């Protein structure tokens, strides 16, 4: 187990180094950092001084090493656009994105698993047909269309829910949360549904397919032959076996939920990291873009690692390195 | 006369398909007495497993019991509620399947699966159920049972897993155990041991066994009586030594001509020329007529039912009284 975790940790560090390299190359060579930092009117002597001071004349590997040391300390430079430290910017935007992403992932997981199990256990009912048809719409419509449709129905026509922003927020330490006020929660509903829909249908279809598969296995037949209750068979035996792939997919999806949040955040003017990124791309604010790239990579790596460990916890077959065979 | 543990009368199992109704089990009748071992043999597709599934009420839809009665201790169990049936399965009738590698849930320890089943059927505390589980594992010959009980299925070999499956089938002391090819998937070297364990444990507990197999050798060594199935019907049923020594039905005679020593050769039963017809293409008259060396006119028109002949029943026109007199 420890060896396994260490090996996976090693791989994670490697992945992060590669991403850091890409981010660094972008940071250093896309556009001219000096031009972005000083105005047009600075003299070439001033520029050269600044270049020297920032170490831009140092050899590549020294600069890269400095980039990584800084990154490890959470320093990604100053945003060209907002003239604020990038880390500060991202941290201030992070709570909005995380609250949105986790609410969506939770919605997707709860309803995805629920609908999936229902569809597998009651394959020939009208409700199942409705769920399956609905899920087709969920996977095929682009996120921004769903978002706009929801805004049109619930914000414009019915005027039940706000169409943009986070509503009122409360500051707790450095974390600014929208989960504690009514307007914050109301603001969260539409974007969370929008962001969750795709993952929800994905999870639902996966759970249904896996569950149908598992229900056909010999051990389920044997569990029935032992006279176990339907509840024990469906949830204790069948659902637990479908969870292994579901955990993997859901975990990986959480990464893409955070990445996909860009679209939803833009549609709903949600003040998260995603909309920060989009605004930075528009003006080639390279430090922010580089930091965002590192951030998303970090999220994926951490989630992957967690998923692998969870996998380990759920599936005993992975725990023993070689099967200790009886005779 | 003692009442049989199980009696099956006129059991018929059908599958509606797009090309019409298929009859997988056709008017099958037999009984099993307390403590008796009934062997059921026949080629693959003869309807052996389907008969077993019908008895424990686990036929997969759209398959269904179209006719007949199944009685446990004289009471019908083929038309009871699914709730009632769940209390019979595992408690009154235990089942052992062919493949021990896939019969156990990979995500639970042996202890969890045994205790769950024991407590489902018997009013025992968790601790008592665990004691019972360890004793059972001991009985089926798992060495160091008290320690191994907390292992997962993948930590056992195939033979050991089948012992665990036997323990699971027996954990609520059923009156009947249906073993569907319990050794077919196992290494030849452990097949005899598994059959021995199963037979000994059932004998100790007075449980009857319905032993489904295509291995005549196993039947010869294990069963008290044997039912030979062909194309969904019983061809011949009677005491095992009689059937083996003087097979009456031409199909059984063919089987006996090819009795091997214990081995795993799957095709052993098909040494009679030809193959069993598919369900959708069963010939009129006797289903065996295309392969039968003794076929005559009547076999093409009338379907023979298993009728008493000496101390057995045989479904063959050769033994019809009227035929013999003619
Ligand atoms: N779902 C199904 N639909 C149609 N026919 C089936 C189905 N399941 C099994 N059968 C048929 O039922 C017959 C009996 O099968 P089975 O009892 O498994 O045979 P055995 O155990 O003797 O090898 C076979 O011919 C098989 O093709
Ligand atoms: S009834 Fe006819 S075809 Fe069938 S087994 Fe007897 S002799 Fe052969
Ligand atoms: Mg079979």
Q: Where are the domains of chain B?
A: 6-92+172-325
- The bound ligand whose nearest atom lies closest to the alpha carbon of B53 is 1
Three-state SS for B317? helix
> Is the C-beta atom of B162 inside 6 A of ligand 1?
no
Q: Which residue from A217, A228, A324 is facing B117, i.e. has the nearest CB?
A: A228
Q: Over range A172-177, report the average pLDDT.
A: 81
Helices (H), chain B: 48-55, 82-88, 100-103, 110-121, 126-139, 145-148, 158-170, 188-205, 216-222, 240-245, 250-257, 321-325
Phi and psi torsions of A216, nearest 5°: -90, -5
Name the closest residue on chain A to residue B121, using Cα atoms.
Answer: A227
d(CA B132, CA B118): 8
The β-bridge relationship of strands B93-96 and B225-230 is unpaired
d(CA B94, CA A136): 43
Q: With bands split at pLDDT 50, 70 and 90, how would you rate the model's confidence at A327?
A: very low
Q: How far is the CA of B289 from the centre of ligand 2 (A)?
A: 6
Residue position matching structure tokens 């967690």: A306
What is residue B309's DSSP assignment? E
N-to-C CA span, chain B = 36
Q: With bands split at pLDDT 50, 70 and 90, how would you rate the model's confidence at A198?
A: confident
**Exposure on the CB side of residue B204, measured as CA atoms within 13 A:** 11
Q: Which residues of chain B have pLDDT under 70?
A: 1, 258-271, 322-326
Instruction: Convert B227-291 into a string of H (helix), E (strand) and C (coil).
Output: EEEECCEEEEEEEHHHHHHCCCCHHHHHHHHCCCCCCCCHHHHHHCCCCCCCHHHCCCCCCCCCC
> Does A222 sit within 8 Å of B103, measured CB to CB?
yes
Which atom of ligand 1 lies nearest, measured to the CA of B212? 21
**Crossing angle of helices A182-215 and A143-150, rounded to 10°:** 130
Tokens of A84: 């604020």
Instruction: Report the C-alpha dihedral over residues B169, B174, B175, B180, rounded to 10 degrees.
Output: -20
By most ligand atoms within 8 Å of CB, the mutation choice from B228, B284, B286 for ligand 2 is B286
CA B144 to chain centre: 31
**Which pLDDT belongs to residue A27?**
77
Instruction: Convert chain A into a string of H (helix), E (strand) and C (coil).
Output: CHHHHHHHHHHHHHHHHHHHHHHHHHHHHCCCHHHHHCCCCCCHHHHHHHHHHHCCCCCHHHHHHHHHHHHHCCCCCECCCCCCEHHHHHHHHHHHHHHHHHHHHHHHHHHHHHHHHHHHHCCCCHHHHHHHHHHHHHHHCCHHHHHHHHHHHHHHHCCCCCCCCCCCCEEECCEEECCCCHHHHHHHHHHHHHHHHHHHHHHHHHHHHHHHHHHCCHHHHHHHHCCCCHHHHHHHHHHHHHHHHHHHHHHHHHHHHHHHHHHHHHHCCCCCHHHHHHHHHHCCCHHHHHHHHHHHHHHHHHHHHHHHHHHHHHCHHHCCCCCCCCC
**Which pLDDT belongs to residue A260?**
77
Tokens of A262: 């860009």
Q: B59 — contact with chain A (CB < 8 Å)?
A: no
pTM of this prediction?
0.80
Q: Which residue from B97, B109, B120 is facing A227, i.e. has the nearest CB?
A: B120
**Which pLDDT belongs to residue A250?**
79
d(CA A195, CA A200): 9
d(CA B282, CA B12): 15
Task: Give residue-wise pLDDT tens across range A231-262.
Answer: 999 999 999 888 877 877 777 777 888 877 88
Note whether ipTM > 0.90 here. Answer: no
Task: Give residue-wise pLDDT tens across range A109-152.
Answer: 899 999 999 999 988 888 888 888 888 887 788 888 888 888 88
* Chain B residues inside the 8 Å CB shell of A227: 86-91, 117, 120-121, 172
Phi and psi torsions of A283, nearest 5°: -115, 20
**Which pLDDT belongs to residue B262?**
46
Phi and psi torsions of A52, nearest 5°: -65, -45
What is residue B80's DSSP assignment? S
Indicate the domain borders of chain A: 88-272
Choosing among B141, B150, B154, which should be mutated to test the A contact, i.e. which has the most A CBs within 10 A? Answer: B154
Query: Are the C-beta atoms of B257 and B301 separated by less than 8 Å?
Result: no
d(CA B324, CA B326): 6
Residue position matching structure tokens 């199944």: B70
N-to-C CA span, chain A = 25
Report CA-CA distances (Å) from A100 to A194, A269, A273, A319, B155.
10, 12, 11, 34, 43
Starting at the edge strand found earlier in the chain, the sheet holding B225-230 runs B93-96, B176-180, B208-212, B37-41, B225-230, B233-239, B312-314, B307-309
Q: For the stretch A290-323, what's the b/e string if a residue is b when 16 or more beta carbons lie within 10 angstroms of its beta carbon?
A: bbbbbbbbbbbbebbbebbebbbebbbeeeeeee
**Crossing angle of helices A182-215 and A240-267, rounded to 10°:** 140
Nearest to A6 by CA among A243, A318, A317, A308: A308
| Ion ligand 3: residue ranges with CB closer than 5 A | B 49
What CATH homologous superfamily does B6-92+172-325 map to? P-loop containing nucleotide triphosphate hydrolases (3.40.50.300)
- The bound ligand whose nearest atom lies closest to the alpha carbon of B180 is 3
Q: Which residue from A226, A241, A320 is facing B107, i.e. has the nearest CB?
A: A241
Query: Are the C-beta atoms of B90 and B175 separated by less than 8 Å?
Result: no
Name the residue with the closest Cα to ligand 1, atom 3: B15
Q: B154 — contact with chain A (CB < 8 Å)?
A: yes
Tokens of A32: 């001219």
> Is the C-beta atom of B52 inside 6 A of ligand 1?
no
Neighbours of B302 (CB within 10 A): 13
Give Cβ neighbours of residue A167 (< 8 Å, ≥ 6 apart): A178, A181, A182, A183, A184, A185, A186, A187, A188
Which atom of ligand 1 lies nearest, measured to the CA of B46? 22
What is residue B140's DSSP assignment? T
Q: With bands split at pLDDT 50, 70 and 90, how would you rate the model's confidence at A289?
A: confident
Give percent above pLDDT 70 in chain A. 94
Q: B157 — contact with chain A (CB < 8 Å)?
A: yes
Tokens of A305: 């690692």
Q: B133 — contact with chain A (CB < 8 Å)?
A: no
d(CA B224, CA B305): 23
The yes or no reply on domain A88-272 and CATH 1.10.3720.10 is yes
């Amino acid at each position: 187990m420890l060896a396994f975790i260490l090996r996976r940790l090693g791989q994670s560090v490697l992945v992060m180094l590669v991403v850091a390299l890409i981010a660094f190359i972008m940071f250093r060579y896309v556009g001219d950092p000096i031009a972005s930092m000083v105005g047009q009117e600075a003299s070439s002597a001033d520029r050269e001084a600044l270049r020297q001071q920032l170490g831009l004349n140092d050899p590549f590997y020294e600069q890269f090493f400095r980039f990584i040391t800084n990154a490890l300390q959470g320093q990604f430079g100053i945003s060209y656009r907002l003239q604020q430290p990038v880390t500060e910017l991202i941290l201030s935007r992070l709570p909005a994105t995380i609250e949105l992403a986790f609410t969506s992932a939770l919605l997707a997981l709860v309803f995805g698993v629920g609908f999936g199990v229902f569809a597998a256990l009651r394959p020939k009912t009208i409700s199942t047909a409705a769920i399956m048809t609905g899920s087709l719409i969920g996977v095929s419509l682009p996120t921004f269309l769903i978002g706009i449709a929801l805004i049109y129905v619930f914000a414009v026509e019915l005027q039940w829910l706000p169409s943009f922003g986070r509503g009122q927020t409360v500051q707790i330490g450095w974390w600014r949360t929208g989960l504690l006020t009514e307007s914050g929660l109301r603001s969260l509903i539409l974007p969370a549904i929008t962001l969750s829909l795709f993952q929800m249908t994905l999870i639902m279809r996966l759970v249904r397919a896996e569950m149908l598969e598992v229900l056909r296995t010999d051990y389920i037949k044997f569990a029935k032959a032992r006279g176990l209750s339907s509840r024990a068979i469906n949830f204790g035996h069948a659902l637990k076996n479908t969870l292994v792939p579901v955990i993997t997919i859901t975990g990986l999806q959480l990464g893409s939920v955070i990445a996909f949040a860009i679209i939803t955040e833009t549609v709903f003017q949600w003040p998260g990291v995603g909309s920060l990124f989009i605004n930075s791309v528009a003006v080639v604010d390279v430090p922010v873009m580089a930091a965002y790239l590192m951030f998303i990579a970090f999220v994926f790596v951490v989630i992957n690692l967690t998923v692998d460990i969870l996998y380990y916890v759920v599936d005993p077959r992975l725990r023993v390195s070689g099967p200790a065979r009886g005779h | 006369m003692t009442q049989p543990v199980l009696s099956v009368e006129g059991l018929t199992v059908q599958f509606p398909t797009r090309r019409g109704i298929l009859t997988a089990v056709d008017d099958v009748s037999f009984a099993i007495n307390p403590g008796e071992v009934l062997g059921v043999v026949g080629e693959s597709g003869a309807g052996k497993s389907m008969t077993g599934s019908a008895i424990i009420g686990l036929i997969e839809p759209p398959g269904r019991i179209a006719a007949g009665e199944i009685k446990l201790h004289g009471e019908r169990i083929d038309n009871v509620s699914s709730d009632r049936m769940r209390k019979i399965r595992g408690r009154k009738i235990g089942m052992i399947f062919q493949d021990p590698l896939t019969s156990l849930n990979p995500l639970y320890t042996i202890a969890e699966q045994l205790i769950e089943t024991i407590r489902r059927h018997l009013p025992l505390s968790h601790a008592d159920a665990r004691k019972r589980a360890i004793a059972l594992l001991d009985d089926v010959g798992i060495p160091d049972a008290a320690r191994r009980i907390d292992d997962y299925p993948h930590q056992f070999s195939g033979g050991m897993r089948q012992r665990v499956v036997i323990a699971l089938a027996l954990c609520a002391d059923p009156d009947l155990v249906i073993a569907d090819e319990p050794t077919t998937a196992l290494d030849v070297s452990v097949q005899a041991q598994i059959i021995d364990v199963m037979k000994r444990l059932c004998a100790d507990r007075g449980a009857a066994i319905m032993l489904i197999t295509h291995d005549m050798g196993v039947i010869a060594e294990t069963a008290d009586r044997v039912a030979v199935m062909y194309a969904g019907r019983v061809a011949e049923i009677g005491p095992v030594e009689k059937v083996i020594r003087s097979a009456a039905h031409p199909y059984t005679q063919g089987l006996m001509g090819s009795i091997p020593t214990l081995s795993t050769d799957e095709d052993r039963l098909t040494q009679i020329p030809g193959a069993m017809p598919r369900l959708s293409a069963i010939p009129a008259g006797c289903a065996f007529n295309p392969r039968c060396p003794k076929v005559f006119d009547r076999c093409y028109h009338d379907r023979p039912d298993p009728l008493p002949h000496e101390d057995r029943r045989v479904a063959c026109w050769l033994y019809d009284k009227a035929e013999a007199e003619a």
